[in-house]
Chains A and B, each alone.
Chain A
Amino acid sequence: MSEVIVITSGKGGVGKTTASANIGMSLATKGYTVALLDADIGLRNLDVVMGLENRIVYDIVDVVDGNCRIKQALIKDKRNPNLFLLPAAQTKDKEAVLPGQMQKLCSSLKEDFDYVIIDCPAGIERGFKNAISGADKAIVITTPEVSAVRDADRIIGLLEANNLSNPKLILNRIRMDMVNRGDMMTLEDITEILAIDVLGVVPDDESVIISTNRGEPAVLDIKSRAGQAFRDISARISGEDVPFMDLNTKENLFDKLKKAFS
């Protein structure tokens, strides 16, 4: 049973694209066939994060306009043969695609793939409406900041209004040292406001920035803690029951190792 999952946040810069790339890659590593769909027309980034930028010939606008077949536009990942990317157009804008066309596109991708992951653009306008129109499920991603949580709340409301009830939450870029000092919102603070199920918590991790700049998703780095968090999230998406990783112990162990080496 294949699924179309949209990853959205409302606010920009909280990690939608990074999460899409990592979840897509780790689901593909598990053996599922995955299509990543970049819905951020005009400000595409998923291709860069995946390191597939230089292979783009056709894009999503070419597909919906009928300039090419879907298979021609899909770029096979260089590391994993189960993973494909349908890039957004860069020289067009969000108006180039209609929600109806997106719906059609998603349903035809659904026939060939176990998971279709849609990377939603920031905002609540046309791009957002396009991205959610073909989705069966939604993942809302936020960071422990008041502004991001506010936007996430707004997005959850909009998703429910569009029959995407029960979205799941990913809390990204949490720093346990700050939480313990009382300087950062805790997971409990956030779930109290948003009142949705938590899919995972991803610690703030330098390795994500490094891997993103290299075009290698962090899940491929076994040592990366954020990568581990995304692997757990993917396992939960595919129906496995994985316990939440204890960020505190890991942090302490990490610190201990750091001290041992320094």
Chain B
Amino acid sequence: MTENSVIFKGNRDGIIIYLDENIAYEDLKYELNKKLKDSSTFFGDTSATIYFHGRRLTSFQEEELTYLVKNNTNLKVNFFLENHQKYDNNEIELQKINSNNKIIRNYKKENEENTKKQEKPKFRKSLEEKIIDATSHFKNRNKKDKNIEKLNLSNTKYHKGSLRNGMSLSFDGSVVIVGDVNPGAEIISVGNVIVLGSLKGVVHAGYTNNQEAFVAAICFNPTQIRIADLITYIPKEKRVLDAPKMAYIENSKIYISDL
């Protein structure tokens, strides 16, 4: 591990963090963490803009490093600028970055929006947000909004074909079944479950405690529905064959509604 794998530099626009591209990411993370701790007093508690420089970062890595900066210093961080390109000169021109369509993320603004939205019921809120995110994603396809990336990168397993009696599909993310789920089959999903066919088996969405998960099916007739830590089934007299429905949690209860 080299001493100079992480270098801090200040200029009039903010603080530039130079990252060595030749060492492993984990080492880099460790080094950054160490340096931040050593120099936390040096930064003080001013507001500043942070640039990462010199190394190509995935959005996840960037998020992780941003988190490190926020946690280890008293800086009032306003903007983070993604900078995947390598600059030869030390000066970073804001305008140039903007014209390159890199995204500016304003954490403060985002937080304010979140608090406003919390008045709505939880499930509705998240569903609407997802829809808004998805539509804005299509509008600004060239832009890389991390929220949208998160949504799209959220693991989803697509299963083509039917799940028969005794088959079990468990997945660390959402599950989409293009086919039927027969009685005796089970799906255990950390995220949502969507069945493009008839759902007659046991389904567990939001395993083990994702309250916002939902289950949807073209023919919604599961033997048993589990979402997060709740379990229910549809009583015989309330069963409707061949109806598209979905199940979700609201106020700690599983609700089933028409799609």
Interface residues in B135-180 by Cβ distance below 8 A to A read 165-168
When the two chains form their complex, are residues A54 and B166 in contact, meaning their CB atoms are under 8 A apart? no
Chain A residues at the B interface, C-beta cutoff of 8 Å: 42-44, 48, 53-57, 90-91
Beyond A90-B184, A90-B186: 5 further Cβ-contacts under 8 Å? A43-B166, A54-B234, A55-B233, A56-B224, A91-B168
CB pair A53–B168 under 8 Å, yes or no, is no
B166, A53: Cβ atoms closer than 8 Å: no
> Which residue in B186, B223, B231 is a CB contact (below 8 Å) of A53?
B223
Chain B, interface SS category? loop
Interface presence of B14 (CB below 8 A)? no
Residues of A within 8 A of B231 (CB): 57
Do B223 and A42 touch across chains, with their CB atoms under 8 A apart?
no
> Can you list 22 A-B pairs, Cβ within 8 angstroms, ordered by A?
A42-B166, A43-B166, A44-B184, A48-B183, A53-B183, A53-B223, A54-B223, A54-B224, A54-B233, A54-B234, A55-B224, A55-B233, A56-B202, A56-B224, A57-B231, A90-B165, A90-B166, A90-B186, A91-B166, A91-B167, A91-B168, A91-B186
Q: Which residues of B contact A48 (CB under 8 A)?
A: 183
Residues of B within 8 A of A53 (CB): 183, 223
Count of residues in B whose CB is under 8 Å from the partner chain: 13
Which residues of B in the span 73-107 have a Cβ within 8 Å of any Cβ on A? none
Q: Give Cα distance in the complex from A199 to B71, angstroms.
A: 76
- Complex CA gap A44/B165 in Å reads 10
For A42, the chain B residues whose CB sits under 8 A away are 166
What A residues does B223 contact at CB under 8 A?
53-54
Chain A: minimal CB distance from B233 (Å): 4
* Contact residues in A for B202 (Cβ distance below 8 Å): 56
CB distance from A90 to the nearest CB of B (A): 5
Distance A13 CA – B165 CA, assembled complex (angstroms): 18
Chain B nearest Cβ from A220, distance in angstroms: 16
Q: How far is the CA of A54 from the CA of B236 in the complex (A)?
A: 10
Those of B216-254 within 8 Å (CB) of chain A: 223-224, 231, 233-234
Task: Report the separation of the CA atoms of residues A66 and B165 in the bound assembly, to the nearest whole angstrom.
Answer: 25
Residues of the B chain whose Cβ atoms lie less than 8 Å from the Cβ of A54: 223-224, 233-234
8 closest A-B pairs by beta carbon, nearest first, are A54-B233, A91-B168, A54-B223, A54-B224, A90-B166, A90-B184, A53-B223, A91-B166
For the complex formed, measure the closest distance between the CB of B237 and the CB atoms of chain A, giving whole angstroms: 13
Which residue of the partner chain B has the closest CB to A45?
A: B184
A91–B201 alpha-carbon span in the complex (Å) = 12
- Taking CB atoms, residues of chain A closer than 8 Å to B233 are 54-55
Distance in angstroms from B95 CB to nearest chain A CB is 59
Shortest CB-to-CB span from A46 to chain B, Å, is 13
- State the Cβ distance, B217 to closest chain A Cβ, in Å: 16
Find chain A residues with CB under 8 A from B167 CB. 91
Nearest CB in chain A: distance from B31 CB, A: 43
Query: Which of B166, B167, B223, B224 is packed against the most chain A CB atoms within 10 Å?
Result: B166
Give Cα A44 to B185, complex, Å: 12
Which residue of B has the minimal Cβ distance to A51? B236
Q: Measured between C-beta atoms, what is the minimum distance from B220 to chain A in Å?
A: 14
Closest to A54 in B: B233
CB distance from B204 to the nearest CB of A (A): 10
Nearest A residue (CB) for B186: A91
Q: How far is the CA of A182 from the CA of B185 in the complex (A)?
A: 45
Docked pose: A56 CA to B231 CA in angstroms:
10
| Bound CA span A164–B186, Å | 37
A218 to B231, CA, bound (A): 30
CA distance A48 to B165 in the complex (A): 13
Which chain A residues border B234 with CB–CB below 8 Å? 54
Give the shortest distance, in Å, between A212 (CB) and chain B (any CB). 15
Contacts of B165 in A (CB 8 A): 90
> A53 to B183, alpha carbons, bound, how many Å?
9
B186 CB contacts on chain A under 8 angstroms: 90-91
Minimum CB–CB distance for B133 against chain A, Å: 35
Chain B CB within 10 A, most for which of A42, A54, A57? A54
Closest to B225 in A: A54
Return the chain A residue nearest B168 by Cβ: A91
Closest to A53 in B: B223
Q: Which of A42, A57, A90 has the most CB of B within 10 A?
A: A90
A91: nearest residue on chain B (CB-CB)?
A: B168
Which residues of B are found within 8 Å of A91, using beta-carbon distances?
166-168, 186
Complex: A194 Cα to B172 Cα, angstroms: 54
In angstroms, Cα B184 to Cα A57, docked, is 13
Chain A proximity of B196: nearest CB distance (Å) = 22
Min CB gap B30→A, angstroms: 38
